A and B are shown apart, each in its own frame.
Chain A
Amino acid sequence: MDDIALRAERVSKVFGQSRVLDDVSFELRRGEVLCLAGENGCGKSTLIKILNGVYTPEAGAAFSFGDAEAVSRITPRHARALGIHVIWQDLALFPHLSVAENIVFDDYVASPFRPLSRRAARQEAREVIERLGVPLDPDTRVEDLSIARRQLVAICRVLRAGARIVFMDEPTASLTRNEVQTLLEITRSLSAQGISIVFVSHRLSEVLAVCQRVTVLRNGALVGTYPTEGMTQTRLSQLMTGRELTLTPRHAACSGEPVLELRHLSRTGEFEDVSLTLHRGEILGLTGLLGAGRTELAHVLFGMNRPTGGELLKNGKPLTLRSNRDAIRNGIAHVSEDRLHLGLVQNQSINMNTAVTVLDELEKPRGFLSPRRLRELTAEWIRRLGTKVNDAELAVSSLSGGNQQRIVLAKWLATRPEVLILDCPTVGVDVGAKAGIFDIIRQLADEGMSIILISDEAGEIWMNSDRVVVLKAGRVSRELTPNAITEASLEEIINA
Chain B
Amino acid sequence: MSAASAPRRAFRPGAESLEIGIMALLLVASVSFFAVMAPGFLSAVNVRSMAVQLPELGLLSLAMLVPIISGGLNLAVTFTANIAGLTTAWLVQNALGDTGVLGIVAGIAAGLGVGSAAGLLIGVIVARVGAHPILVSLGAMIFFQGLGEFLTRGGGISGMPAGFQWLGSGSLIGIPIPMLIFLLSAGGLAYFMQFTRTGFSIHMIGSNLRATEYSGIDVRRVLIVLYTLSGLLAAIAGMVMLARFNSVRVGHGESYLLITVLACFLAGANPFGGFGRVLPLVLGLMSLQVIASGMNLMGASQHLATAVWGAFLIVVMTLRMPFLKRS
Contacts and interface: CB of A to CB of B under 8 A. Distances in A.
Interface of A: 304, 323-325, 328, 334, 336, 341-349, 351-352, 355-357, 359-360, 362-363, 367-371, 375-376, 378-379, 382-383, 386-395, 411, 415
B215 A411 contact: yes
Contacts of B201: 356, 359
B216 A328 contact: yes
Given A345-B208, A379-B4, A387-B3, 9 more contacts: A324-B216, A342-B214, A347-B275, A348-B203, A356-B204, A388-B3, A393-B7, A395-B13, A415-B216
Nearest to A376: B6
A347 B12 contact: no
A64 to B, nearest CB: 41
Given A325-B218, A375-B6, A393-B12, A368 B195 contact: yes
A383 to B, nearest CB: 5
B3 A345 contact: no
A379 B204 contact: no
The number of chain B residues touching the other chain, given as a range, is: 20 to 34
B255 interface: no
B1 A347 contact: no
A341 B208 contact: yes
A422 to B, nearest CB: 14
Contacts of B214: 304, 324, 334, 336, 342-343
B189 to A, nearest CB: 14
B1 A360 contact: no
B196 interface: yes
19 contacts: A324-B214, A324-B216, A328-B216, A336-B214, A342-B214, A344-B211, A345-B208, A352-B200, A356-B201, A356-B215, A363-B197, A367-B195, A371-B194, A379-B6, A388-B2, A389-B2, A393-B12, A394-B14, A415-B216
The B interface is mostly helix, strand or loop, or mixed, namely loop
Nearest to B9: A393
B168 interface: no
B30 interface: no
Interface of B: 1-9, 12-14, 194-197, 199-201, 203-204, 207-208, 210-218, 274-275
A369 B196 contact: yes
Given A351-B6, A386-B1, A391-B7, A357 B208 contact: no
B212 A391 contact: no
A362 B8 CA distance: 18
Given A342-B210, A346-B207, A392 B217 contact: no
Contact of A349 (B8, B12, B208, B210): B12
B3 A382 contact: yes
A378 B6 contact: yes
Contacts of B204: 345, 348, 352, 356
A393 B214 CA distance: 22
B216 A379 contact: no
A343 B196 contact: no
A383 B211 CA distance: 24
A167 B248 CA distance: 70
Contact of B200 (A343, A369, A391): A369
B3 A359 contact: no
Contacts of A370: 195
Contacts of A390: 2-3
A366 B321 CA distance: 38
A38 to B, nearest CB: 23
B1 A352 contact: no
A119 to B, nearest CB: 42
A260 B91 CA distance: 59
A379 B5 contact: yes
A55 B201 CA distance: 45
Contacts of A391: 3, 7
A237 B278 CA distance: 51
| Closest CB pairs A-B (n = 3) | A375-B6, A379-B6, A359-B197
Of B6, B199, B275, most A-chain CB atoms within 10 Å: B6
Nearest to B195: A369
B250 to A, nearest CB: 36
Contacts of A336: 214
Given A347-B208, A348-B207, A369-B200, A383 B218 contact: no
B217 A356 contact: yes
A396 to B, nearest CB: 10
Contacts of B207: 345-348
Contacts of B1: 386, 388
Q: Which of B8, B199, B211 has the most C-beta atoms of chain A within 10 angstroms of its own C-beta?
A: B211
Contact of B216 (A325, A345, A383): A325
A92 to B, nearest CB: 24
Contacts of A345: 204, 207-208, 211-212, 215, 274
B318 to A, nearest CB: 22
